[in-house]
Amino acid sequence: MELTIVPLNLSAARQVAGWRYPPPYDVYDIGEEPLALATMIRPGAGYHAILAGEELVGFCCFGEEARVPGGDYSAPAVDVGLGVRPDLTGRGQGRHVFDAVTLFAERAFRPPALRLTVAAFNKRAIRLYQNAGFRETERFAATFSGRPFLIMVRAAHPA
Domain membership of residue 67 as a residue range: 3-155
Q: How far apart are CA 85 and CA 59, in angstroms?
A: 8
pLDDT at position 146: 92
Give the model confidence (pLDDT) of 34-80 as tens digits.
778 888 988 888 899 999 999 999 999 999 999 999 999 999 999 99
In this structure, what DSSP letter does residue 28 have?
Answer: G
What type of residue sits at position 45? A
CATH of the domain at 90: 3.40.630.30
What's the whole-model pTM score? 0.92
Sorted by sequence, the CB contacts under 8 Å of residue 37 that are 6+ apart come out as: 10, 13, 14, 17
Percentage of the chain surpassing pLDDT 90? 77
Sorted by sequence, the CB contacts under 8 Å of residue 158 that are 6+ apart come out as: none
Q: In 10 A of CB 130, how many CB atoms?
A: 13
pLDDT at position 159: 58
Q: In total, how many domains does the chain have?
A: 1
Assign 3-class secondary structure to 119-134: ECCCHHHHHHHHHCCC
pLDDT at position 130: 97
What one-character-per-residue DSSP string does 69-117 give? TTS---SS-EEEEEEE-GGGTTSS-HHHHHHHHHHHHHHHH--SEEEEE
What type of residue sits at position 14? R
